[in-house]
């Protein structure tokens, strides 16, 4: 087994302990409540799709609080930063994704006559959740307190504010079967790519550039 | 030289003074928060953008500014939570305990965020009104709804403080915000009609006012919002005055339930029959401008000049002996009048589209052409817009069968008159989308004939109008009437499809 794998296995336990599980549990509760109208009253139009969207946002908001390392300035570790940060992403997002999939299954079974396109809804949900995680990951490069992670929900709020109030014909949130569904989801997929690239960049090592340059010069 | 040195007496600050100065400090801190001003700016920008394309009316303005206030309230939930949980961050809990001010006094001082939020919201609403200038909202002014736009951010700030004093961990602020946003987003999904319970629970009244003077229980809605404000405020201080705060919560919930019940009871069911009295001649105030009478609903007097801009160029082109000109009525009116609704475009092409629609409608009534609607027309005449006037399903709209106006002199003259109403009549005749008279169909030949008339000296066309006026208000074929203008006889549509 390579050193990396051994490090990873050793780190899983501590990372599991540092993820703030109470917000995650609260988010699971809120997202289940958001889907309640869809399951209880299948007649309510659009409640399945909107329930799933809200669930993704709330789950992502909770997951973003796992991204900040309060001890980052002090921790001199043998593991690279990217490994620690990606472990945080994985540990926070895997349960969120699992919960979302359960909610999707519940929504899809209640929306019998309506079709819920899984692939496109996954793209939407991934962008909604990752917007928070990426926001927190970027902020965590410089900030190390709990309030640093508020950048995650703030990024999600920015995403909502920028897209929710567009005129109906340019809406980023069409319902399945709407004319602009395809176009809107091309944008969702593009946003997903952008967010993944941003997450890769944000989870990289925070190089002390000045020190390095001074060292190179000297 | 001797100096008398004595111990200064220990300064004892009265509790009230201490609380007041803490409260003022909290208010100053909030006013210095850039996030608050970001929220105010976003609210003003959203309200302005939502109202950009249409002439302002009080009901749409209060709906837009209420929704914008809801966005501002979201910001205040976060700010209020961060302020109330301040003592618990960065391990400051122990340091905060050594301060002379108790947590109770600090929590009470935090309630200063609520009136400060009201001031910020009032500023936002004021800015939204100023940005409407030079236009000003028409229709019936509803002070309760305008106040609601100020109360909603107060509830947001109170909610933030309440959650922060009970759940000070940082994630609970954003999660509360998203939870509340989820509930608010799902309320409209659940309620299908404007009177449904979930719409009444929604903080903003966003359904359009069918008629300006129709009674709306908006006062009760404000009572409901104030009850919500009392609930969140009482929850914030529940830890320190358990009995008083608990009683306040219970009372406020009772008041909120009563307020919602009153709204349900006092809401007028919106059907064509119930609203008729608020839209017909008795509800209109008439004014004569030039030779045309304009009748506006309550509060819409300012719009008469907008309608005049659409009607005046047509009336000027008519022969002087034409007397019984159609009356422009807002709301509803007999078939011989031109009926406009409560929508008018603002700025550029939106204003031009509204103007051309009214010009075309005026010409249609003037020349007695068949109207768009078959069966009983509802309030408001422009059918594509009635959807917005009445909630879906409350009125059946059916478009009558299309008929052909090909070859009729009236069709050609209607096109010529419409061209008079725009600065560039020739360009207008090239735009098929804009040339619509009720359900009358016509072809390129009629448009070409109208172009010939446009090229001819205006006096000759006016003479033709004068001479053939009686013929113009009938479906009679043009025959050789236009031969003098170089127009060959137009092909006439035969059979039952010709317009009558």
The residue whose two tokens read 């109360």 is B151
Confidence band (pLDDT; 50, 70, 90) for B375? very low
Cβ–Cβ under 8 Å, residues A203 and A136: no
| Predicted confidence (pLDDT) at residue A148 exceeds the cutoff of 80 | yes
By C-alpha distance, the chain B residue nearest A167 is: B50
Q: Which residues of B touch A33 (CB under 8 A)?
A: 179, 182
- The predicted model gives A193-217 an average pLDDT of 73
Cβ–Cβ under 8 Å, residues B337 and B365: yes
Is A23 within 8 Å of B175 when comparing Cβ atoms?
Answer: yes
Rounded to 5 degrees, what angle do the CA atoms B77, B82, B84 make? 95
Residues, chain B: 500
Is B82 within 8 Å of A147 when comparing Cβ atoms?
Answer: yes
Q: How many CB atoms lie within 10 A of CB A61?
A: 36
Q: Chain B within 8 Å of A46 (Cβ-Cβ)?
A: yes
| Closest CA–CA distance from residue B178 to any residue of chain A (Å) | 6
Of B46, B170, B172, the CB nearest to A147: B170
Q: Which two tokens stand for residue B405?
A: 């106006």
CA atoms of B367 and B361, how far apart (whole Å): 10
Q: Chain B within 8 Å of A45 (Cβ-Cβ)?
A: yes
Residue A147 pairs in a beta bridge with none
Is B178 within 8 Å of A61 when comparing Cβ atoms?
Answer: yes
State which H helix or E strand residue B183 sits in. Answer: helix B172-190
CA atoms of A91 and A9, how far apart (whole Å): 12
End position of a domain, from candidates B268, B291, B313:
B268
For A209, the 3-state DSSP assignment is helix
Q: Which two tokens stand for residue B44?
A: 């003003």
Residue B363 lies in a domain: yes
Cβ–Cβ under 8 Å, residues B314 and B415: no
| Predicted confidence (pLDDT) at residue B194 exceeds the cutoff of 90 | no
pLDDT of residue B396: 42
**What DSSP assignment string belongs to B373-385?**
B-SS--SSS-HHH
Look at the pTM and tell me if it is higher than 0.90. Answer: no
Q: Which residues of A touch B72 (CB under 8 A)?
A: none
Q: Which of A128, A166, A173, A184 is nearest to B46 (CA)?
A: A166
Q: Which residue segment(s) compose the domain that B183 sits in?
A: 15-268
Q: At what angle do helices B143-166 and B113-132 cross, to 10 degrees?
A: 140
Tens-place pLDDT, residues B93-146: 777 777 777 888 888 999 999 999 999 999 999 999 999 988 899 988 999 999
**A84 or B7: whose pLDDT is higher?**
A84
- Residue B251 shares a structural domain with residue B116: yes
Q: Chain B within 8 Å of A57 (Cβ-Cβ)?
A: yes
Instruction: Select from B64, B74, B179, B183 the residue whose CB has the most chain A CBs within 10 Å, as the one to mutate to test that interface.
Output: B179
- Give the rounded percent of residues in chain B with a pLDDT score beyond 90: 36
- Residue B243 shares a structural domain with residue B355: no
| Predicted confidence (pLDDT) at residue B79 exceeds the cutoff of 50 | yes
| Closest CA–CA distance from residue B180 to any residue of chain A (Å) | 10
End position of a domain, from candidates B217, B243, B268:
B268
Q: Chain B within 8 Å of A103 (Cβ-Cβ)?
A: no
Question: How many Å is the maximal CA-CA distance in chain A?
Answer: 72
**B476 or A124: whose pLDDT is higher?**
A124
| Closest CA–CA distance from residue B90 to any residue of chain A (Å) | 7
Residue B99 has phi, psi (to 5 degrees) of -70, 150
Q: At what angle do helices B103-110 and B143-166 cross, to 10 degrees?
A: 160
Q: Chain A within 8 Å of B70 (Cβ-Cβ)?
A: no
| Closest CA–CA distance from residue B389 to any residue of chain A (Å) | 18
By C-alpha distance, the chain A residue nearest B82 is: A147
C-alpha dist (Å) from residue B328 to A175, B139, B287, B296, B399: 40, 17, 10, 8, 22
Is A51 within 8 Å of B186 when comparing Cβ atoms?
Answer: yes
CA atoms of B373 and A70, how far apart (whole Å): 69
As a whole number, the mean pLDDT across chain B is 84
Q: Chain B within 8 Å of A146 (Cβ-Cβ)?
A: yes
Q: Which of A30, A34, A153, A66 is nearest to B81 (CA)?
A: A153
- Residue B285 shares a structural domain with residue B385: yes
Q: Which residues of A touch B90 (CB under 8 A)?
A: 145
DSSP annotation of A146 reads G
Instruction: Select from A40, A51, A54 the residue whose CB has the most chain B CBs within 10 Å, as the one to mutate to test that interface.
Output: A54
Q: Which of A174, A43, A195 is nearest to A120 (CA)?
A: A174
The residue whose two tokens read 């920028």 is A162
Residue B4 lies in a domain: no
- Residue B171 shares a structural domain with residue B303: no
Q: What sign has the CA pseudo-torsion B143, B146, B151, B152?
A: positive
Is B178 within 8 Å of A149 when comparing Cβ atoms?
Answer: no
Confidence band (pLDDT; 50, 70, 90) for B394? very low
ipTM: 0.84
Q: Chain B within 8 Å of A176 (Cβ-Cβ)?
A: no
- Residue B114 shares a structural domain with residue B261: yes
- Residue B197 shares a structural domain with residue B323: no
- Residue B253 shares a structural domain with residue B379: no
| Predicted confidence (pLDDT) at residue A218 exceeds the cutoff of 50 | no
Cβ–Cβ under 8 Å, residues B156 and B73: yes
End position of a domain, from candidates B240, B268, B296:
B268
Q: Which two tokens stand for residue A132?
A: 């928070």
Most confident of A14-23, A92-101, A103-112: A92-101
| Closest CA–CA distance from residue A154 to any residue of chain B (Å) | 8
The residue whose two tokens read 């359904």 is B207
Is A161 within 8 Å of B42 when comparing Cβ atoms?
Answer: yes
- Residue B254 shares a structural domain with residue B307: no
| Closest CA–CA distance from residue A165 to any residue of chain B (Å) | 8
Q: Which of A197, A35, A199 is nearest to A102 (CA)?
A: A35
Is A62 within 8 Å of B171 when comparing Cβ atoms?
Answer: yes
Is B171 within 8 Å of A65 when comparing Cβ atoms?
Answer: yes
**B319 or B35: whose pLDDT is higher?**
B35
- Residue B321 shares a structural domain with residue B366: yes
Is B189 within 8 Å of A46 when comparing Cβ atoms?
Answer: yes
Q: Chain A within 8 Å of B18 (Cβ-Cβ)?
A: no
Cβ–Cβ under 8 Å, residues B114 and B154: yes
Confidence band (pLDDT; 50, 70, 90) for A211? very low
pLDDT of residue A55: 92
Q: Which of B68, B28, B62 is nearest to B45 (CA)?
A: B68
For B403, the 3-state DSSP assignment is strand
Cβ–Cβ under 8 Å, residues A140 and A69: yes
For A208, the 3-state DSSP assignment is coil
Question: Domain tally for chain B?
Answer: 2
Cβ–Cβ under 8 Å, residues B112 and B24: yes
Q: Which residues of B touch A44 (CB under 8 A)?
A: 189-190
pLDDT of residue A200: 93
**What DSSP assignment string belongs to B184-219?**
HHHHHHH--STTSHHHHHSSS--SPPSSTTS---HH
- Residue B261 shares a structural domain with residue B383: no
- Give the rounded percent of residues in chain B with a pLDDT score beyond 70: 90
| Closest CA–CA distance from residue B130 to any residue of chain A (Å) | 22
Cβ–Cβ under 8 Å, residues A205 and A80: yes
Q: How many CB atoms lie within 10 A of CB B433?
A: 7
Confidence band (pLDDT; 50, 70, 90) for A208? low
Cβ–Cβ under 8 Å, residues A32 and B179: no
**Among the residues of B270-328, which ranges form H helices?**
272-279, 304-317
Q: How many CB atoms lie within 10 A of CB A121?
A: 22
C-alpha dist (Å) from residue B367 to A98, B109, B332, B335, B415: 68, 71, 20, 12, 11
State which H helix or E strand residue B440 sits in. Answer: strand B440-441
The residue whose two tokens read 């009760």 is B220
**What DSSP assignment string belongs to B65-106?**
HHHHHHHHHHHHHHHHHHHHTGGGGGG-HHHHHTSSS-HHHH
- The predicted model gives B282-286 an average pLDDT of 88
Q: Chain B within 8 Å of A168 (Cβ-Cβ)?
A: no
Is A150 within 8 Å of B78 when comparing Cβ atoms?
Answer: yes
Q: Which residues of A touch B177 (CB under 8 A)?
A: 153, 157
The residues, any chain, with a CB within 8 Å of residue B209's CB and separated by 6 or more, are B57, B58, B59, B139, B140, B216, B342
- Residue B184 shares a structural domain with residue B290: no
Residue B6 lies in a domain: no
Q: How many CB pairs under 8 A join A and B?
A: 86
Residue B40 has phi, psi (to 5 degrees) of -60, -45
Confidence band (pLDDT; 50, 70, 90) for B192? low
pLDDT of residue B393: 36
State which H helix or E strand residue A97 sits in. Answer: helix A81-110
Is A61 within 8 Å of B78 when comparing Cβ atoms?
Answer: no
- Residue B249 shares a structural domain with residue B288: no
Q: Which of B124, B126, B42 is nearest to B78 (CA)?
A: B42
The residues, any chain, with a CB within 8 Å of residue B244's CB and separated by 6 or more, are none
């Amino acid at each position: 087994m390579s050193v990396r794998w051994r490090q990873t296995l050793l780190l899983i336990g501590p990372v599991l302990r540092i993820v703030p599980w109470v917000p995650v549990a609260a988010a699971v509760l809120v997202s289940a409540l958001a889907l309640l109208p869809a399951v209880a009253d299948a007649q309510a139009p659009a409640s399945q799709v909107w329930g799933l969207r809200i669930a993704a946002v709330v789950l992502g908001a909770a997951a973003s609080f796992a991204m900040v390392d309060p001890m980052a300035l002090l921790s001199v570790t043998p593991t690279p930063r990217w490994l620690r940060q990606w472990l945080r992403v994985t540990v926070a997002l895997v349960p969120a994704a699992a919960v979302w999939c359960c909610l999707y299954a519940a929504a899809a079974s209640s929306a019998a006559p309506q079709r819920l396109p899984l692939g496109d809804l996954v793209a939407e949900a991934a962008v909604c959740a990752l917007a928070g995680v990426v926001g927190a990951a970027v902020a965590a490069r410089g900030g190390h307190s709990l309030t640093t992670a508020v950048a995650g929900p703030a990024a999600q709020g920015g995403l909502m504010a920028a897209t929710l109030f567009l005129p109906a014909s340019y809406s980023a949130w069409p319902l399945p079967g709407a004319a602009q569904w395809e176009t809107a989801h091309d944008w969702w997929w593009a946003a997903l790519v952008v967010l993944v690239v941003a997450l890769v960049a944000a989870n990289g090592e925070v190089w002390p550039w000045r020190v390095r340059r001074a060292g190179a010069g000297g | 030289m001797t100096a008398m040195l004595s111990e200064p007496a220990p300064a004892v600050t009265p509790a009230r003074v201490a609380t007041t100065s803490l409260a003022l400090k909290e208010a100053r801190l909030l006013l210095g928060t850039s996030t608050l001003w970001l929220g105010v700016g976003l609210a003003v920008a959203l309200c302005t953008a939502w109202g950009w394309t249409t002439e302002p009316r009080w009901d749409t303005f209060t709906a837009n500014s209420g929704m914008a206030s809801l966005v501002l309230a979201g910001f205040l939930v976060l700010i209020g939570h961060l302020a109330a949980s301040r003592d618990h961050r960065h391990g400051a809990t122990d340091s905060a305990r050594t301060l002379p001010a108790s947590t109770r006094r600090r929590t009470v001082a935090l309630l200063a965020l609520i009136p400060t939020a009201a001031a910020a919201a009032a500023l936002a609403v004021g800015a939204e009104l100023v940005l409407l200038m030079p236009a000003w909202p028409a229709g019936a002014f509803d002070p309760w709804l305008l106040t609601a736009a100020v109360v909603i951010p107060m509830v947001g700030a109170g909610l933030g403080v309440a959650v922060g004093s009970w759940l000070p961990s940082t994630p609970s602020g954003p999660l509360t915000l998203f939870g509340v946003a989820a509930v608010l987003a799902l309320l409209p999904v659940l309620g299908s009609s404007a009177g449904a319970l979930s719409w009444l629970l929604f903080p903003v009244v966003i359904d359009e006012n069918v008629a300006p003077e129709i009674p709306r229980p908006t006062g009760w809605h404000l009572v409901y919002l104030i009850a919500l404000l009392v609930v969140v405020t009482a929850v914030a201080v529940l830890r320190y005055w358990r009995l008083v705060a608990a009683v306040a919560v219970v009372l406020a919930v009772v008041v909120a339930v009563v307020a919602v019940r009153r709204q349900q009871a006092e809401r007028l069911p919106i059907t064509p029959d119930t609203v008729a009295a608020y839209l017909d001649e008795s509800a209109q105030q008439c004014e004569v401008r030039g030779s045309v009478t304009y009748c506006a609903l309550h509060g819409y007097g300012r719009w008469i000049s907008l309608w005049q801009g659409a009607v005046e160029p047509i009336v000027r082109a008519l022969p002087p002996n034409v007397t019984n000109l159609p009356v422009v009525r807002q709301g509803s009116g007999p078939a011989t009048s031109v009926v406009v609704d409560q929508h008018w475009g603002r700025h550029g092409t939106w204003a031009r589209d509204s103007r051309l629609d009214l010009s075309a409608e005026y010409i249609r009534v003037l020349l007695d052409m068949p109207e768009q609607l078959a069966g009983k027309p509802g309030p408001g005449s422009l059918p594509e817009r009635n959807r917005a006037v009445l909630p879906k399903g409350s009125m059946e709209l059916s478009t009558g069968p299309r008929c052909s106006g090909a070859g009729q002199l009236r069709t050609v003259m209607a096109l010529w008159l419409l061209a008079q109403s725009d600065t560039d009549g020739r360009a207008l005749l090239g735009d098929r989308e804009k040339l619509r008279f009720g359900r009358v169909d016509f072809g390129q030949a009629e448009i070409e004939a109208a172009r010939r008339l446009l090229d001819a000296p205006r006096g000759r066309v006016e003479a033709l109008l004068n001479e053939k006026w009686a013929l113009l208000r009938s479906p009679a074929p043009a025959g050789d009437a236009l031969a003098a203008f170089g127009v060959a006889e137009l092909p006439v549509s035969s059979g039952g499809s010709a317009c009558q």
